[in-house]
């Protein structure tokens, strides 16, 4: 059996084919897994656990069927769905993971992250992240109507596209939106691990690097905009591939 990792599905009503692909994945490959880890940005936007869209209902049901079958599901919040909360966990049977966290996988302590904290050169985004993670911000936001929250999410996505376009115009997009190597090394050393798995950057790869005098691994999960990206971990090793 294998442990499966995915991230950055960005499920959204405008991309129904991706949602169908994910639900099929839950009914097939994931059903035969030892565990499924979703490392952030399962949704393009999550405006609160009272989200009542058909997409949200379908995904909740799909995850519930998987956990009811005996496959544990672990979900980490991403930069697009950081408002996933206890009601979502209760409805799906999933366990919410803190970001970052260290878990033991096939005998190796492994640092799991969404990955946005590793992009430390993107100071504008990190400032926005700090603001929106404050409990007071969360409470004010969730007190609004669903419609008002949807409007805010639409504006936030538009602002994000504008921010990225500005970086692109300056020729800085690739560098700013990728990880900072020193930040990666510091995270590995701070948590005392030699393996890290994250998403966010949409640059799937398995990197080898030096950390604190040892060889370490950084595994980057791909997105699901065009095809499903899955990391399969077994006792025999790792395989990062498309569905």
CATH for 102 = 3.60.21.10
User: What are the start-end ranges of the E strands in the chain?
Assistant: 3-6, 35-39, 73-76, 95-97, 101-105, 108-112, 195-198, 205-211, 214-220, 229-234, 237-242
**pLDDT at site 86:** 98
Overall number of domains in the chain:
1
**pLDDT at site 80:** 95
**pLDDT at site 84:** 98
**Residue 225: how many CA atoms within 13 Å on its side-chain side?**
9
Rounded to an integer, what is the distance from CA 161 to the centroid of its chain? 19
User: What are the start-end ranges of the E strands in 69-221?
Assistant: 73-76, 95-97, 101-105, 108-112, 195-198, 205-211, 214-220
**pLDDT at site 180:** 95
Tokens for 235? 């006792």
β-strands 205-211, 229-234 pairing? unpaired
3-state SS, residue 172: coil
**pLDDT at site 173:** 73
- Rounded to the nearest 5°, which phi and psi values hold at 103? -125, 155
DSSP code of residue 68: H
pLDDT in tens, the chain (243 residues): 899 999 999 999 999 999 999 999 999 999 999 999 999 999 999 999 999 999 999 999 999 999 999 999 999 999 999 999 999 999 999 999 999 999 999 999 999 999 999 999 999 889 999 999 999 999 999 999 999 999 999 998 888 888 778 777 778 677 778 999 999 999 999 999 999 999 999 999 999 998 878 899 999 999 999 879 999 999 999 999 998
The domain of 74 spans 3-242
Give the number of other CB atoms < 10 A from CB of residue 69. 13
Tokens for 195? 């393996």
Question: Cα separation of 141 and 119, whole Å?
Answer: 26
Question: Cα separation of 174 and 181, whole Å?
Answer: 14
DSSP code of residue 31: G
Tokens for 45? 């936007």
Question: Cα separation of 31 and 20, whole Å?
Answer: 16
């Amino acid at each position: 059996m294998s442990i499966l990792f995915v991230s950055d599905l960005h499920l959204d009503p405008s991309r129904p084919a991706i949602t169908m692909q994910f639900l099929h994945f839950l009914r097939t490959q994931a059903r035969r897994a030892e565990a499924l880890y979703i490392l952030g940005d399962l949704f393009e936007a999550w405006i609160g656990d009272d989200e009542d869209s058909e997409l949200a209902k379908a995904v909740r049901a799909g995850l519930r069927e998987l956990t009811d079958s005996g496959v544990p599901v672990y979900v980490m919040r991403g930069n697009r769905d950081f408002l996933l909360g206890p009601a979502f966990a209760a409805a799906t049977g999933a366990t919410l993971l803190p970001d970052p966290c260290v878990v033991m996988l096939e005998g190796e302590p492994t640092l799991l992250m969404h990955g946005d904290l590793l992009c430390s050169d993107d100071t504008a985004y990190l400032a926005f992240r700090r603001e929106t993670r404050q409990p007071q911000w969360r409470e004010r936001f969730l007190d609004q109507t669903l419609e008002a929250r949807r409007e805010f999410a639409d504006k936030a996505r538009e602002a994000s596209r504008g921010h990225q376009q500005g970086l692109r115009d300056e020729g800085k997009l690739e560098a700013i939106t990728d990880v900072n190597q020193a930040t990666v090394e510091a995270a590995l050393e701070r948590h005392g691990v030699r393996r890290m798995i994250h998403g966010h950057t949409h640059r799937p790869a398995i990197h080898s690097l030096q950390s604190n005098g040892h060889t370490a691994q950084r595994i980057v999960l791909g997105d699901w905009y065009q095809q499903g990206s899955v990391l399969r971990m077994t006792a025999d090793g790792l395989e990062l591939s498309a569905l």
